[in-house]
Chains A and B, each alone.
Chain A
């Protein structure tokens, strides 16, 4: 907890990144035909005199650079199967190491819920064979190293940043954390207490409740993205569970190591061999990753919470990276609600109507499994239904009429002109290439992706808007002061109350929707 971020305020919340980007099953055959096509928009086609001057001064897009193994980064495989990426960068006396472990909370069964997440916390805080917890912390802080560990839905990550003069000790600690974690009992107890606190805190402000309950509605508890552990479940997790978890996933064949910084590659390779080379190879059988079952759940749902601002979330099933339309879908989303102030939703709901500070959409297209198209906003209680209606109206307009010339150019140029930032930091090249291999994507994935975006035509965007936006399938969730918008909301449909998960010591209740 820290409060000192409270004395700043900004023009934009850049909130879309905070939308949970959840994965789910491939299903683009399912898409329906859009409504009748309306006329073309001319939105933004008229410009000011200053714009013309700016466009005259504007430089050309800089040519894209795609990082390559053997050019920007070296890749090698140790005898035990560990994949190693190395990159020298002598600008500052620092070293960065990142380790990917093929694991994740999506590999765990409903009965194991919460284990992977907590194991990530304990990797960081639970000590190692050679560094008990207190000593680990003392050494890390003494050499000014920063170490972090987390296990996400489909990936485990441990990373280290350390001044180069103490890099050897930093790497020794890192190797110990990955190979010989202790999962110390008293640290586990503390992490469980912190997790329980967070679960309870998630019901104390509207954002976390809205995100959690919306995922639970669409994914249901048959998919990990729809599940949240109970307090009782957290209390059950034991040191032995952690050790089994580690044994199951943390094996050389499941590990990728990337190192960038102020070192010599040959020397670094030797150091990594010394630290990881004697780790015996074991065969690992991973369970299959879950697939989403994209069942639409149209309707209006609410959670009653006494607040002066309603939190709104609307969405339906979306796409994944196997979808050949993904580039057009992404650009379409920019125009609808994914490009901050250039987006239609911002213009309408924020600028024209003054209804929300943060409003936008996300249509994730780069992840393995099918995920959700989402629109979200916060608005004062009195304007709850008005804001929802404006959002739905814009989604409908987007799916039923053509985009303007200016909208197309802006979406396209945003991508093309900013691409130079993608690998501006050398470490981004290293982690991108590692990410491709981890996700089992082809080596030319980045080039193909770039070309994919480059070749999107305005009519592609019109077509995918009609095909993939499904206003009639929208699930609408409002968290707010229901008695003060209950009359208006009937205009959207019969509202159903959701009982949010409660985090008491008693086992949590069953299905949420009534």
Chain B
């Protein structure tokens, strides 16, 4: 019966351990056979290879050092829309005739520019859009898209991967990174390198405008219609006033509506350079031969100097921030505290603090918050917390579901009592031993599958600068003392560093209805 609640928690923890954020896990280093062969192409592309011959399969993972944080103002969602467009083919893929298709695509861009100009008159104090002209331009768009369709081979790249026997095929965009991944029978490695190098060298963003609509549907599905999704978006937008983490990766609705093909292409050219990519290849491979294949296909792609990144630093909060989302749903509570970025020495103690308060694993019932809020005081049905350690300073987040007869205020008070208790009652030896055991076991579990290894080493290589971080992090976590935990709790869990968000049960407001009826 709890499936909907649990499944979202599962998703989170998997993602967290894969991306080396939050909890990460391990065993004594010498017990773990992980022989990573680390090489670089001349163009700067990093290649990490692990030879494991247990089955004739290979896990392939390509990670780019670009994500939602790099979206420019007014163009949030561009990194993610780009990820979608990377499946649309290239000059020689997904098309039967690129030369004939190109002028049609250019005409689509021109007509779209006119359409956009006409629509934007709605925002002007002095002019009005002409519905007849909009209709005419929309019809022109449709006719041109139909014309282009005669050259398009539908999702040919995806189909190719399926015919190679690919499983787990997908891509995802996060705040800090974008990744493309698939598992293949190991005799298909050449084809993978050919396909990926081709879309990196010559992508064509055909069918752009329908895909933009698809992404908007994705936004409605993940955020607009989901109480938890919407609370998350509002909460992050409140907790951060300068950092790019204030923006949703999926993009704000009006930014999606404004996005143009040329702009996404420009963004691609800036960030999708081989020197901005990490490839992790894990499974039934020979590293030397594999590297030769990488040289052959990716080697010719020129490196590009990377632009300066303009990441606004979050200033000290110096205030409490609160937000209540009115939604026809049961109450929920989130509390966030700003914490430093990955690599900062305090992140380890914060991670251990998260495990002492929130439990050592998914569904753990030994965390102090669970025991106090759920078992003793019975003010919550569920509680979870953890340090969201990322490329730039992010948040330590505590979330809870109030019990039937408790209010979010009761839950909030109970959380602060537990935080205060840490000052008088440092983590016990048993609590710390439990965390250390869990840290060891979780590292081993993370290395069970080829795809797990590929993800963790690529992620660590990106956010921590070396894949070896999976081991050094484990050692650092195990060295955290009770005093370290007390110190970071005191330092970061201040009222003036805090954002509180809740869902307040309500039927829809009049303003929301009028907006939806537009």
Using known A-B contacts A138-B366, A194-B1, A204-B227, determine if residue A7 contacts B397 with beta carbons closer than 8 Å.
no
| Smallest beta-carbon distance B186→chain A, Å | 8
| Smallest beta-carbon distance A500→chain B, Å | 13
Q: Determine the chain A residues whose CB is within 8 A of the CB of B159 once the complex forms.
A: 44, 341-342, 410
Quick one: which of B158, B195, B381 contacts A193, CB cutoff 8 A? Answer: B381
Q: Is the CB of B513 within 8 A of A1?
A: no
Cβ-closest 3 pairs across A and B: A417-B165, A59-B187, A354-B213
> A462 an interface residue at 8 Å Cβ cutoff?
no
Q: A141-B366, A413-B163, A417-B163 are in contact. List 5 more A-B contacts (CB 8 A).
A: A121-B2, A197-B404, A306-B513, A357-B214, A417-B185
| Smallest beta-carbon distance B308→chain A, Å | 24
Q: Determine the chain B residues whose CB is within 8 A of the CB of A44 once the complex forms.
A: 153-154, 159
Closest to B220 in A: A309
Complex-state Cα separation, A94 to B32, whole angstroms: 12
**How many A residues face the partner with a CB closer than 8 A?**
106
| Smallest beta-carbon distance B433→chain A, Å | 7
In chain A, residues 16-71, which have Cβ atoms closer than 8 Å to a Cβ of chain B?
Answer: 43-44, 46-51, 53-54, 57-62
In chain B, residues 503-518, which have Cβ atoms closer than 8 Å to a Cβ of chain A?
Answer: 508, 513, 516-517
User: Which of A362-370, A418-426, A451-459, A464-472 lies on the face that meets chain B?
Assistant: A418-426
Q: Which of A10, A121, A208 has the most C-beta atoms of chain B within 10 angstroms of its own C-beta?
A: A10
Question: What residues of chain A have their CB less than 8 Å away from a CB belonging to chain B?
Answer: 1-14, 43-44, 46-51, 53-54, 57-62, 91-94, 114, 117-118, 121, 125, 134, 137-138, 141-144, 146, 148, 161, 163, 186, 190, 193-202, 204-206, 208, 306-309, 311, 339-342, 346-347, 350-358, 378-381, 409-410, 413-414, 416-421, 423-426, 481, 484
Closest to A45 in B: B153
> B236 an interface residue at 8 Å Cβ cutoff?
yes
Q: Determine the chain A residues whose CB is within 8 A of the CB of B227 once the complex forms.
A: 204-205
Closest to A406 in B: B159
Closest to B21 in A: A4
Q: Which of A94, A204, A347, A481 has the most C-beta atoms of chain B within 10 angstroms of its own C-beta?
A: A204
Complex-state Cα separation, A12 to B442, whole angstroms: 28
In chain B, residues 158-214, which have Cβ atoms closer than 8 Å to a Cβ of chain A?
Answer: 158-160, 162-167, 169-175, 183, 185, 187-188, 190-191, 194-195, 198, 207, 209-214
Complex-state Cα separation, A311 to B226, whole angstroms: 12
Question: What residues of chain B have their CB less than 8 Å away from a CB belonging to chain A?
Answer: 1-5, 8-9, 11-13, 15-16, 22, 27, 31, 54-57, 68, 80, 83-84, 87, 89-90, 92-96, 149, 153-156, 158-160, 162-167, 169-175, 183, 185, 187-188, 190-191, 194-195, 198, 207, 209-218, 220-229, 231-233, 235-236, 245, 248-250, 327-330, 332, 334, 359-366, 374-375, 378, 381-382, 384, 386, 388, 397, 399-401, 403-404, 430, 433-434, 437-438, 440-442, 444-445, 447-449, 508, 513, 516-517
Complex-state Cα separation, A423 to B54, whole angstroms: 11
Q: Determine the chain B residues whose CB is within 8 A of the CB of A354 once the complex forms.
A: 209-214, 217
Closest to B435 in A: A141
Quick one: which of B4, B158, B382 contacts A208, CB cutoff 8 A? Answer: B4
Quick one: which of B160, B225, B228, B329 contacts A309, CB cutoff 8 A? Answer: B225
Q: Determine the chain B residues whose CB is within 8 A of the CB of A4 once the complex forms.
A: 12, 15-16, 22, 386, 388, 397
Q: Determine the chain A residues whose CB is within 8 A of the CB of B87 once the complex forms.
A: 11, 341
Q: Determine the chain A residues whose CB is within 8 A of the CB of B163 once the complex forms.
A: 58, 409-410, 413-414, 417
Using known A-B contacts A48-B153, A163-B444, A193-B403, determine if residue A125 contacts B365 with beta carbons closer than 8 Å.
yes
Q: Is the CB of B162 within 8 A of A424?
A: no
Q: Determine the chain B residues whose CB is within 8 A of the CB of A413 once the complex forms.
A: 162-163, 165
Using known A-B contacts A2-B8, A141-B361, A420-B185, determine if residue A308 contacts B434 with beta carbons closer than 8 Å.
no
Complex-state Cα separation, A311 to B224, whole angstroms: 13
Q: Is the CB of A357 within 8 A of B225?
A: no
Q: Is the CB of B213 within 8 A of A47?
A: no
Q: Determine the chain B residues whose CB is within 8 A of the CB of A146 once the complex forms.
A: 361-363
Complex-state Cα separation, A413 to B330, whole angstroms: 47
Complex-state Cα separation, A47 to B386, whole angstroms: 49
Q: Is the CB of B195 within 8 A of A54?
A: yes
Q: Is the CB of B84 within 8 A of A11?
A: yes
Complex-state Cα separation, A425 to B452, whole angstroms: 13
Q: Is the CB of B80 within 8 A of A59?
A: no
Q: Is the CB of A117 within 8 A of B174?
A: no
Q: Is the CB of B214 within 8 A of A54?
A: no
Quick one: which of B1, B156, B248 contacts A51, CB cutoff 8 A? Answer: B156
Closest to B217 in A: A357
Quick one: which of B3, B171, B188, B210 contacts A59, CB cutoff 8 A? Answer: B188
Q: Is the CB of A1 within 8 A of B330?
A: no
Using known A-B contacts A53-B194, A198-B5, A417-B165, determine if residue A92 contacts B397 with beta carbons closer than 8 Å.
no
Q: Determine the chain B residues whose CB is within 8 A of the CB of A9 once the complex forms.
A: 80, 83, 172-173, 215, 218, 222, 249-250
Using known A-B contacts A11-B84, A143-B437, determine if residue A418 contacts B329 with beta carbons closer than 8 Å.
no
Complex-state Cα separation, A380 to B257, whole angstroms: 14
Q: Which of B2, B15, B162 has the most C-beta atoms of chain A within 10 angstroms of its own C-beta?
A: B162
Q: Determine the chain B residues whose CB is within 8 A of the CB of A12 once the complex forms.
A: 169-170
Q: Determine the chain A residues whose CB is within 8 A of the CB of B154 once the complex forms.
A: 43-44, 341, 347, 351
Q: Is the CB of A308 within 8 A of B167?
A: no
| Smallest beta-carbon distance B251→chain A, Å | 9
Q: Determine the chain A residues whose CB is within 8 A of the CB of B16 once the complex forms.
A: 4
Quick one: which of A195, A346, A416 contacts B2, CB cutoff 8 A? Answer: A195
Q: Is the CB of A194 within 8 A of B5?
A: yes
Q: Is the CB of A6 within 8 A of B229?
A: yes
